Amino acid sequence: MTQTDIRAVVLATLKSIAPEVEVDALSGDRPLRNQVDLDSMDWLNFLLGLNKRLKVEIPEADYRKLVTLDDVVAYLQAKVD
Amino acid sequence: MTRKTPVNQKIEHRPPPPPAGPVPWDKDFALQLLLDMLRIRRLEEKAAELYGEGKIRGFLHLYIGEEAVAVGALHALAPEDNVVATYREHGHALVRGMPMQAIMAEMYGKQEGCARGHGGSMHLFDAATRLYGGNAIVGGGLPLATGLALAAKLQGETRLTACFFGDGAVAEGAFHESLNLAALWKLPVLFCCENNLYGMGTAIERAEAQTDLCVKAASYGMPTFAVDGMDIVDVHATMQKAVAKVRKSAGPVFVEFRTYRFRAHSMFDAELYRDKAEVAAWQKCGPLHTFTARLKAKDAKGGKAKLTEKEFLELDKRVQAEVAEAVAFAEAGSWEPVEDLLKDVHTPEGTVTAAPQASTKAGRAKSPAPRSGRRSSKPTSARGRR
Amino acid sequence: MIEFKLPALGADMDEGTLLEWRVKPGDAVKKGQVIAVVDTAKAAVDVECWQDGTIGELLAEVGQKMPVGTVMATLRAAGEKAGEKAGEAAGKAVAAKVGDGGTAAAKVGPGGTAAAPAKLPQTEPQTAPQAAPAAPAQRRLISPAARKHAAENGVDIDSLTGTGPHGAVILADVETAAAQGAPAAPRPPAAVTAELPSAEKGATRIAAMRQAIATAMARSKREIPHYYVSEDIPLARALAWLQAENSQRAMAERLLPAVLLLKAVAVALRGYPELNGWCHDGAFVTAERSNLGVAISLRQGGLIAPALLDAGTKPLTTLMQELTDLVQRARAGSLHSSELTDGTITVTNLGDQGTQAVFGVIYPPQVALVGFGRIVERPWAEDGGIKVLPVVTASLAADHRVSDGHRGALFLRELAELLQHPEELDKEAS
Amino acid sequence: MSRKISYREAMRAAMHEALTNDPRVFLMGEDVGRYGGTYAFSKGFLDEFGPERIRDTPLSELGFVGAGIGAALGGLRPIVEVMTVNFSLLALDQIVNSAALYRHMSGGQFSVPLVIRMATGAGRQLAAQHSHSLEGWYAHIPGIKVLAPATIEDARGMLAPALADPDPVVIFEHAGLFNMEGELPDDWTVGIASAKVRRAGKDVAIITYGGSLPKTLAAAEILAADGVEAEVIDLRVLRPLDTATIAAAVAKCHRVVVVDEGWRSGSLAAEVMARIFENAFWELDAPVVRVCSEEVPIPYAKHLEDAALPQPEKIVAAVKGLFA
């Protein structure tokens, strides 16, 4: 899957959690959870969404690596290939 | 016996001499009628006991003392004839062929009863034996019987309609209107008046200006018969004559059965209206023991008696068993679920309601001449036939 | 030994008075023989015995009034020797049983007890008219149609002037008001949480919710004397246990810290019933179970606190599933009414984006609210040294009419202690 | 293409057709034969069908109504004509204690497929004993159906389904309608289970039956001139009452007037109002009112009789009251 495909999946998953957010307007390099109000439940559901769609395991320990949108896409790209 | 007596004078009804003399029937038929009288007597005795225990509720009118009328009369009818009765109709239902279990269960109010507990003692119905029911309205059955006869006539059927009612009913407008209609339209109705001399607590002399009921009926232009209701032989013979006359003339006939009830009008009325002595006098000519005595006596030519004490005890044992079985059946019966409360108020769509055909069930009340046959005493469940 | 009981002597008879015995003990009696005379409402009546046998004892005295079914005498069945108990006797007499001694008229004999009153079949849809809503002090004339339309469209009927007969408010009045967007009707708090406006009502729904929250909070502040206490609780051991637990679980089974905190509150509450229940008009009723109202913020704004029912007895996995489901349904607007009205205490601000501490406003008619701040790494003095530990500030707001600060403080200490043994919290409550 | 006939002719045609099609059907009643029927409903039937099937009866209502029930039990399909509801009081015992009960009391063994027709109502100066409207009494009894044909179509169409019904059906024909003429549509087959909207409207629902229908329709025209559109509901079936249609009319118009020639206390109108409160309470924008006969034995003098009975003007006034 290309980077743009993964990015599209990430944004779609985010949209399903926070429908009122304009996901295309999000900046890739600023902390995602500062731009979108995601409490711990939303965050867990977001990761579960990615897990389901991309069949990628995301252990709690890796949460620290997933601060910005780009981080998430890169992390997933590495896992998927 | 029209005695003009002031209404409040003391009235005393002296019974006729007890029925006696040889019984002109073959043994089989005689024992059949004895068995039916015994079945009624034991059923009614058990009903009185169960009423005391609170198992049977509401009103209960017993036929003890009048058994010879129902047994003698109904054995002169054919299965295809219609029967309309009153609230004192346990005996009529039994002799017409309704199983004792179905009667007992109905008196218990169980759904295994002949009317599923809807009617109780005063409302026994049985389509299979063309028993168009008990009726708790005095005289209520007479117009219905007239209509049933009208239907038979208009459909070219040969059946007649026997309508039983008490001396009380002759005071109702329905009696006069029905006898007039039946005579006017020549309808095959057999009006059977069970004159037990009391309309509940009112002696007939205190209710009727004309106490000779045959004179009343004759005024509508129909043949009348009167008979000693205690003598089953006389009852049966007279009823056969009346039935023959109706079948031939297709017009109505009136029969007065002079009888007497040994118990209260209904459960435990105080019977203040008649003396115990009068009851005792009439009990001397009771239908059951007099008929038993006549059957046990050797006939004039010294031939064999038609009944031995041993045979009588055997019959009685069999009847006691039938009564016990009926009580057990009723005790084990179930209550109709309340959810079915409204089920029978109307006839379901698409039900064929042609008049019930005469049942060909063996063991129906038979008249001796053409068809004789053992009564099947094996009771069928009341539900089976509907 | 057969019991001879006073029989039911007629459809309308409950009791009778013994006038005369016709037999004495030892007399032989035949079936159908009259053995007594009893006075009923109608007249004196002969009473028959239904069995052959010999009279044992005469229990009823002359002049005694008794209900139907009373044992009047004892009878030895034919062939039964004196002194034998009933039943062993050779006699097959059926022991006459009339109810359990109750008067026959009161109820049919045992076999005849009327069936339990089951649901009667309905022939036509009979909808009993609901009781009209509580009428204001002086009853205004408002037509049922007007009331219905007002309720459906959130129109405050009290603010309308009626143009119907005698100044009654009629349908047309409400229709015009609704069209002009009259102020939304104030609703008692319970009603607002019970009726979550569905999505498509949009703007008026948000307005209605804001109005409801305002009413509830204003009432809370007006009626409930709050006191506040708080406690910092170290979560090192708890979070470590959680991380270990989650590492063995599939992602979908993963537990959030919130679940641990909720379970701790529910377990701690068992010792503090005065924090768990409802207070109506000053009268407090403690709840047997602890239904934790979980404050959930809705994405488009607004707040709702549906309850996790009976949280104290459930293992963490179950609580997690229920919490996830509750949040989803809250946001989808499909909560059950019991979840909205059965909360016995509320727990708020479990989000990791909140402040370090939150002091909430109690949700009437409840009497307490627990607030958790954000879990933060903080310096923590222990055994004379300083460590950096994850710490959460737990606060309690409670109704001073029902409990005192001292008890509130003890509750928070209990809560802190429970969180030091997370593995204990996972078991089913004994 | 429809043709113009009278209510009498419509019912006569219905009976004629029934007698022709089904040999089990026969007509019984006072003066139904030689006299041709008190109201000439069965003129000519005696010659055509013979005395067996067109039976004049003695003046014994209890007797011949009971006989009708017996004949139905016996397999026939009798039409019993009780001259008027006033004389039916003598036969009430057989109707209430036999016809209505037989099915249930026999535990479902016997049905009574009987039709009883009787004239009803006032308005022709026959004084109190010949002017009763007692449909409400009969509509109270479970086990029977009660019909009130008020139009030419119903007069022609109701008898067939009534005769086909396995249970007793009582048909009330308001004497004031007999000479009414109207169009009989080609397809006049009707059901006997529901009410009918005779005039669509939206401001008020006026619910009535039988002889009061023409007066109600007249009132509706007067109201229309004042801009009030009345919806007129003809109950047609007085038992079982068509609660659904009643409730729907209330939900549509929010105002209701019930017109009933019976006396108001314990009347059929009272039952209709009870059904409204039970099923459409929240749709009411005004109290439910009724227009009934005054509670007086119907007087002989015309001006008194008119004052006692429901009239279009009274109906209009009642409706106006709902808007005042």
Among C277, C260, C361, C269, CA closest to C315: C260
pLDDT at B9 over 90: no
So what's the ipTM on this one? 0.59
pLDDT at C40 over 60: yes
Burial state string for A46-73 with b = 16 or more CB within 10 A and e = fewer than 16: bbbbbbeebebebebeeeeebebbbbbb
Q: Is D132 annotated in the active site?
A: no
Residues C232 and C336 in one domain: yes
Mean confidence (pLDDT) of chain A: 85
Judging contacts by C-beta atoms under 8 Å, the chain C residues touching residue D254 are: 143, 145, 171
Is D64 in the B-facing interface, judged by CB distances under 8 Å? yes
Is A67 in the C-facing interface, judged by CB distances under 8 Å? no
pLDDT at B366 over 60: no
Q: How far apart are CA B183 and CA B167, in angstroms?
A: 20
Task: Specify which residues C16 forms β-bridges with.
Answer: C66
Residues C47 and C69 in one domain: yes
Task: Specify which residues C283 forms β-bridges with.
Answer: C280
Residue of D9, D30, D61, D261 marked active site = D61
Comparing CB atoms, the residue among C256, C258, C300 nearest residue A20 is C300
In degrees, to the nearest 5, what angle opens at C-alpha C405 toward C-alphas C403 and C410? 95
Say how many domains are in chain B: 1
Is C414 within the bounds of a domain?
yes
Which chain B residue's Cα is nearest to C115?
A: B335
pLDDT at D199 over 50: yes
User: Which pairing describes strands C2-5 and D256-263: parallel, antiparallel, or unpaired?
Assistant: unpaired
Range of the structural domain that residue B181 is part of:
27-336
Output the pLDDT for position C221: 84
Condensed to tens digits (0 to 9), the pLDDT of residues C92-145 reads 333 333 333 333 333 333 333 333 444 555 444 444 444 444 434 557 889 999
Output the pLDDT for position C285: 87
Which chain C residue's Cα is nearest to A35?
A: C353
Judging contacts by C-beta atoms under 8 Å, the chain B residues touching residue D68 are: 147
Q: What is the mean pLDDT of residues C337-342?
A: 67
Residues C374 and C272 in one domain: yes
Is C134 within the bounds of a domain?
no
| List of chains touching A (3+ CB pairs within 8 A) | C
pLDDT at C252 over 70: yes
* Cβ B382 vs Cβ B102: under 8 Å: yes
Is C133 within the bounds of a domain?
no
pLDDT at C408 over 70: yes
Say how many domains are in chain C: 3
Q: Does the distance separating the beta carbons of A45 and C353 come in below 8 Å?
A: no
Q: What is the mean pLDDT of residues C61-77?
A: 91
More confident residue, C108 or C285: C285
Residues C345 and C255 in one domain: yes
Comparing CB atoms, the residue among B185, B344, B355 nearest residue D103 is B344
Q: Does the distance separating the beta carbons of C109 and B53 come in below 8 Å?
A: yes
Evaluated on CA atoms C206, C210, C211, C216, the torsion sign reads positive
CATH number for the domain harbouring residue B234: 3.40.50.970
Which chain A residue's Cα is nearest to C247?
A: A59
Condensed to tens digits (0 to 9), the pLDDT of residues D259-314 reads 999 999 999 999 999 999 999 999 999 999 999 999 999 998 898 999 999 999 99
Q: What is the mean pLDDT of residues B197-214?
A: 93
In chain B, the DSSP E strands lie at 82-84, 161-166, 189-195, 198-199, 202-203, 224-228, 253-258
| List of chains touching C (3+ CB pairs within 8 A) | A, B, D
Judging contacts by C-beta atoms under 8 Å, the chain B residues touching residue C102 are: none
Output the pLDDT for position C118: 45
Mean confidence (pLDDT) of chain C: 78
* Cβ B144 vs Cβ D33: under 8 Å: no
Is C270 within the bounds of a domain?
yes
| List of chains touching B (3+ CB pairs within 8 A) | C, D
- Structure-block tokens of residue B326: 């009926």
- Structure-block tokens of residue C185: 């009707």
Among C372, C369, C366, CA closest to C391: C372
Q: Does the distance separating the beta carbons of B339 and C121 come in below 8 Å?
A: yes
Is C327 in the A-facing interface, judged by CB distances under 8 Å? yes
**CA C104 centroid distance within chain:** 38
Distance from CA of A67 to the nearest CA of C (A): 14
CATH number for the domain harbouring residue A11: 1.10.1200.10
Range of the structural domain that residue C379 is part of:
225-425
* Cβ C44 vs Cβ B270: under 8 Å: yes
- For chain D, domains (ranges, CATH) are 3-184 (3.40.50.970), 196-323 (3.40.50.920)
Helix (H, G, I), strand (E, B) or coil at C416: helix
Is B15 within the bounds of a domain?
no
Judging contacts by C-beta atoms under 8 Å, the chain A residues touching residue C258 are: 40-41
Helix (H, G, I), strand (E, B) or coil at B62: coil
Q: Does the distance separating the beta carbons of C129 and D254 come in below 8 Å?
A: no
Q: Give D37's DSSP letter.
A: -
Q: Is D61 annotated in the active site?
A: yes
Range of the structural domain that residue A47 is part of:
3-80
Helices B27-52 and B309-331 pack at an angle, to 10 degrees, of 40
Q: What is the mean pLDDT of residues C13-25?
A: 90
CA R_g for chain A: 11
Q: What is the mean pLDDT of residues B160-165?
A: 98
**CA C347 centroid distance within chain:** 22
Q: Cβ contacts of residue B210 below 8 Å, gap of 6+?
A: B2, B216
Comparing CB atoms, the residue among D240, D277, D283 nearest residue C145 is D283
Q: How far apart are CA B265 and CA B271, in angstroms?
A: 8
Judging contacts by C-beta atoms under 8 Å, the chain B residues touching residue C121 are: 339-342
pLDDT at B367 over 50: no
Output the pLDDT for position D42: 95
Judging contacts by C-beta atoms under 8 Å, the chain B residues touching residue C123 are: 342
Residue of D81, D130, D173, D271 marked active site = D130
pLDDT at B363 over 50: no
Output the pLDDT for position B365: 35
Judging contacts by C-beta atoms under 8 Å, the chain D residues touching residue B161 are: 70
Q: How far apart are CA C32 and CA D149, in angstroms?
A: 62
Residue C363: which pLDDT band, with cuts at 50, 70 and 90? confident
Comparing CB atoms, the residue among C98, C99, C111 nearest residue B331 is C111
Among D30, D49, D34, D37, CA closest to D11: D37
Is B344 in the D-facing interface, judged by CB distances under 8 Å? yes
Condensed to tens digits (0 to 9), the pLDDT of residues D126-175 reads 889 999 999 999 999 999 999 999 999 999 999 999 999 999 999 999 99
Say what percent of chain B tops pLDDT 90. Answer: 79
Q: Does the distance separating the beta carbons of B347 and D166 come in below 8 Å?
A: yes
Residue D15: which pLDDT band, with cuts at 50, 70 and 90? very high
Chain B interface mutation, best of C75, C97, C108, highest count of B Cβ atoms under 10 Å: C108
Output the pLDDT for position C127: 42
Residue C342: which pLDDT band, with cuts at 50, 70 and 90? confident
Is D226 in the C-facing interface, judged by CB distances under 8 Å? no
More confident residue, C108 or C209: C209
Residues C236 and C204 in one domain: no
Interface of B with D in 350-369 (CB under 8 A): 351, 353-356
Is B344 within the bounds of a domain?
no
CB atoms within 10 A of CB B53: 23
Q: Does the distance separating the beta carbons of C327 and A20 come in below 8 Å?
A: no
Residue C179: which pLDDT band, with cuts at 50, 70 and 90? confident
Chain A interface mutation, best of C206, C247, C251, C375, highest count of A Cβ atoms under 10 Å: C251
Residue with tokens 């009272």: D270
Output the pLDDT for position B361: 32
Is B376 within the bounds of a domain?
no
Among C25, C63, C31, CA closest to C44: C63
Query: Residue C362, class by beta-carbon neighbours within 10 Å (0-12 exposed, 13-18 middle, 19+ buried)?
Result: buried
Judging contacts by C-beta atoms under 8 Å, the chain A residues touching residue C299 are: 18-20, 37
Residues C168 and C100 in one domain: no
Distance from CA of B369 to the nearest CA of C (A): 38
* Cβ C323 vs Cβ A41: under 8 Å: yes
Is A44 in the C-facing interface, judged by CB distances under 8 Å? yes
Among D207, D213, D288, CA closest to D254: D288
pLDDT at B15 over 70: yes
Say what percent of chain C tops pLDDT 90. Answer: 27
Is C265 within the bounds of a domain?
yes
Q: Does the distance separating the beta carbons of B342 and C123 come in below 8 Å?
A: yes
- Cis amide bond preceding D240, omega within 30: yes
Say how many domains are in chain A: 1
Q: Does the distance separating the beta carbons of C123 and D254 come in below 8 Å?
A: no
Output the pLDDT for position B4: 55
Is C352 in the A-facing interface, judged by CB distances under 8 Å? yes
CB atoms within 10 A of CB D59: 12
Adjacency order of strands within the sheet including C34-39: C44-48, C34-39, C15-21, C65-67
Q: Do chains A and D touch (3 or more CB pairs under 8 A)?
A: no
More confident residue, C134 or B76: B76
Task: Specify which residues C67 forms β-bridges with.
Answer: C15
Q: How far apart are CA B15 and CA B207, in angstroms?
A: 20
Q: How far apart are CA B363 and CA B94, in angstroms?
A: 12
CB atoms within 10 A of CB B197: 20
Q: What is the mean pLDDT of residues B124-133?
A: 96
More confident residue, D292 or C90: D292
Among B153, B152, B179, CA closest to B165: B179
Position B156, amino acid: G
Helix (H, G, I), strand (E, B) or coil at D232: strand
Q: Does the distance separating the beta carbons of C257 and A41 come in below 8 Å?
A: no
Position B204, amino acid: I
Output the pLDDT for position C356: 86
Contacts 24+ apart (CB under 8 A), C240-243: C241/C422, C241/C423, C242/C422, C243/A60, C243/A61
Condensed to tens digits (0 to 9), the pLDDT of residues D203-227 reads 999 999 999 999 999 999 999 999 9
* Cβ C18 vs Cβ C61: under 8 Å: yes
Output the pLDDT for position C295: 87
* Cβ D43 vs Cβ D12: under 8 Å: yes
Residues C274 and C415 in one domain: yes
Which chain D residue's Cα is nearest to B117?
A: D107
Position B244, amino acid: A
CATH number for the domain harbouring residue C273: 3.30.559.10
Q: How far apart are CA C297 and CA D228, in angstroms?
A: 52
Most confident of the ranges A58-62, B36-40, C410-414: B36-40
Condensed to tens digits (0 to 9), the pLDDT of residues B218-275 reads 999 999 999 999 999 999 999 999 999 999 999 999 999 999 999 988 887 778 888 9
* Cβ D192 vs Cβ D159: under 8 Å: no
- Structure-block tokens of residue D128: 């109190």
Output the pLDDT for position B98: 98
Comparing CB atoms, the residue among D240, D277, D285 nearest residue C143 is D285
Comparing CB atoms, the residue among B119, B150, B355 nearest residue D105 is B119
User: Which pairing describes strands C376-382 and D145-147: parallel, antiparallel, or unpaired?
Assistant: unpaired
Judging contacts by C-beta atoms under 8 Å, the chain B residues touching residue D163 are: none
Is B2 within the bounds of a domain?
no
Can you give B168-222 as a three-state secondary structure string?
A: HHHHCHHHHHHHHHHHHCCCCEEEEEEECCEECCEEHHHCCCCCCHHHHHHCCCC
Query: Residue D105, class by beta-carbon neighbours within 10 Å (0-12 exposed, 13-18 middle, 19+ buried)?
Result: buried
Q: How far apart are CA B10 and CA B5, in angstroms?
A: 9
Residues C312 and C402 in one domain: yes
Say what percent of chain D tops pLDDT 90. Answer: 94
Q: How far apart are CA C74 and CA C2, in angstroms?
A: 6
Residues C237 and C206 in one domain: no
Judging contacts by C-beta atoms under 8 Å, the chain B residues touching residue C119 are: 338-339
Q: Does the distance separating the beta carbons of B173 and D62 come in below 8 Å?
A: yes
Q: How far apart are CA C40 and CA C17, in angstroms?
A: 7
